[in-house]
Amino acid sequence: MKTSAFVYPWDVNGDPEAAARIAGLGVAQVTLAAAYHSTRALTPRHPRHRVVTAGHAAVLYPVDARWDGRPLRPHPAGDWAPGDAYGQAAESLAGAGLDVHTWVVLAHNSRLGAEHPHTSVVNAYGDRYPWAPCIAQPATRAYLVELAAEAAARPGAHGTELESLGWYGLAHLHAHDKIAGVGLGDAGQYLMSLCFCPDCRAGYGARGLDPDELAAAVRAALEPVWRGAPSGGGWAGVGELLGEARAAGTREWRDETARTLQTAAVAAVRAAAPRGFQVLLHADPVSYHCGANAGVDPEHILSVADGVVVPCTGGAEALTPFARQGREGAVLAANLTVVSGMGGSPGTLAEDAARARDLGATELRLYHAGLASDDDLESVRAALRAG
């Protein structure tokens, strides 16, 4: 199976051995960050640094004039990825014989929420989630679609992977995160991720739900959960907490909002990119799920994009709903973590890849060539060499 490794520009730039080392793993492709959220990342082999702190969500290339005069616009990176950091890294990687695809993070942006608080998801208690742009707001949707087009179709790239192209919610790898004191479960997470900004309130109203009554119902449903009662699992648990009619109405609004944004963003990328440019989404087959792997309708997304990248560390069952679509030529990429310190298992990569293939995977993604230790990378190299 074709295999791609995730890479940051700062893994490559300033390290003259990086591109050849990544190519030496046996991968044919790299998925190189072009627009990325804030993070703190280890660089175990870089000759100039060991820790990179990306202070805010940024584009890792110079933006063009399309953003002039627009209130919502991407920010350049700081000294962690100055200038055209993406372009510099892409040139090095392509020079080592690697096919370069862009990695674009969209609806996950804490700086956007800090500078424009009205763009953020607002929960039923009135709390804003500055890391989570509300994808129902017209101005935010326009910003995300334009960013997708610009960041994806970088010069020389042969494809893109769009991350966070959907709803983001409560769950977030936030600095000094301390929200795990109460086990919300799948259903509780959904209720705490429902947005009540003006646009979402209008959306609920158009589906026959009074937004004030809905917010009160969410708070009432969660009250026993705060006291320690289990919240139930899956969509059935949401219906039990909120009531079937209310649950269905909220999901209808959110699913439609995500589907139309995904359709628009993919179309914008295709319009900006050369013929044959591959467009994939990081995706979860359960449409009401939130996060980096956005919840999607498998049938819809495979009719729009060229395929999906699916999280498969710990099990590849999430591939099955996509494989069932029987979409000829669709890319179903199994994303496997190969960093031991982040819960990955590079030593079982061959077995995990075989299992993913059995469940429908056509390609592999390895997270992450820059973060992994030398021992982890040697395990990857051996597994790919063995076939």
pLDDT digits (tens, 9 = 90+) for 25-80: 999 999 999 999 999 999 999 999 999 999 999 999 999 999 999 999 999 999 99
- pLDDT above 80: residue 180: no
Burial 84-97 (b: 16+ CB within 10 A, else e): bbbbbbbbbbbeee
Nearest one of 147, 173, 174 to 160, comparing CA atoms? 147
Strands 58-59, 99-105: pairing kind: unpaired
Crossing angle between the packed helical segments 244-272 and 138-152, to the nearest 10 degrees: 40
| Statement: residue 387 has pLDDT above 90 | no
**Of 225, 130, 211, 219, nearest in space to 169 by CA:** 130
Q: Do residues 313 and 336 make contact, with C-beta atoms less than 8 angstroms apart? A: yes
Per-residue b or e along 147-168, where b marks 16 or more CB atoms closer than 10 Å to that residue's CB: bbbbbbbbeebebbbbbbbbbb
pTM of the predicted model as reported, rounded to 2 decimal places: 0.97
Average pLDDT over every residue of 11-23: 98
The per-residue pLDDT for range 219-266, each reduced to its tens digit, is 999 999 888 888 778 999 999 999 999 999 999 999 999 999 999 999
**Phi–psi pair at 27, nearest 5 degrees:** -85, 155
Among the CATH numbers 3.20.20.80, 3.40.50.10440, 2.40.30.10, 3.40.630.20, which is that of 2-178+255-386?
3.20.20.80
- Average pLDDT in the chain: 96
Q: Give 99's contacts (C-beta < 8 A, 6+ positions apart).
A: 4, 28, 29, 30, 158
Q: What angle do CA 160, 166, 169 make, to 5 degrees?
A: 130
The residues spanned by each domain of the chain are 2-178+255-386
How far apart, in Å, are the Cα atoms of 333 and each of 84, 236, 249, 310? 28, 29, 32, 6
- What is the predicted pLDDT for the residue at 305? 98
Q: For residue range 287-314, what is the model confidence (pLDDT) as tens digits?
A: 999 999 999 999 999 999 999 999 999 9
Q: Can you give the pLDDT at residue 179? A: 67
pLDDT of residue 301: 98
Give me the percent of the chain exceeding a pLDDT of 90. Answer: 93
For residue 345, what are its two tokens?
A: 């298992």
- Dihedral-angle region of residue 14 (phi above 0 means left; psi in -120 to 50 means alpha; beta otherwise): left
Q: Tell me how crowded residue 223 is: count the other CB atoms within 10 A of its CB.
A: 10
Separation of alpha carbons 157 and 102, rounded Å: 7
Per-residue 3-state assignment (H helix, E strand, C coil) for the chain: CEEEEEECHHHHCCCCCHHHHHHCCCCCEEEEEEEECCEEEECCCCCCCCEEEECCCEECCCCCHHHCCCCCCCCECCCCCCCCHHHHHHHHHHHCCCEEEEEEECCCCHHHHHHCHHHEEECCCCCEEEEEECCCCHHHHHHHHHHHHHHHCCCCCCEEEEECCCCCCCCCCCCCCCCCCCCCHHHHHHHHHCCCCHHHHHHHHHCCCCHHHHHHHHHHHHHHHHCCCCCCCHHHHHHHHHCHHHHHHHHHHHHHHHHHHHHHHHHHHHHHCCCCCEEEEEEECCCCCCCCCEECCHHHHHHHCCEEEEECCCCCHHHHHHHCCCCCCCEEEEEEECCHHHCCCHHHHHHHHHHHHHCCCCEEEEECCCCCCHHHHHHHHHHHHHC
Gyration radius from the chain CA atoms: 21
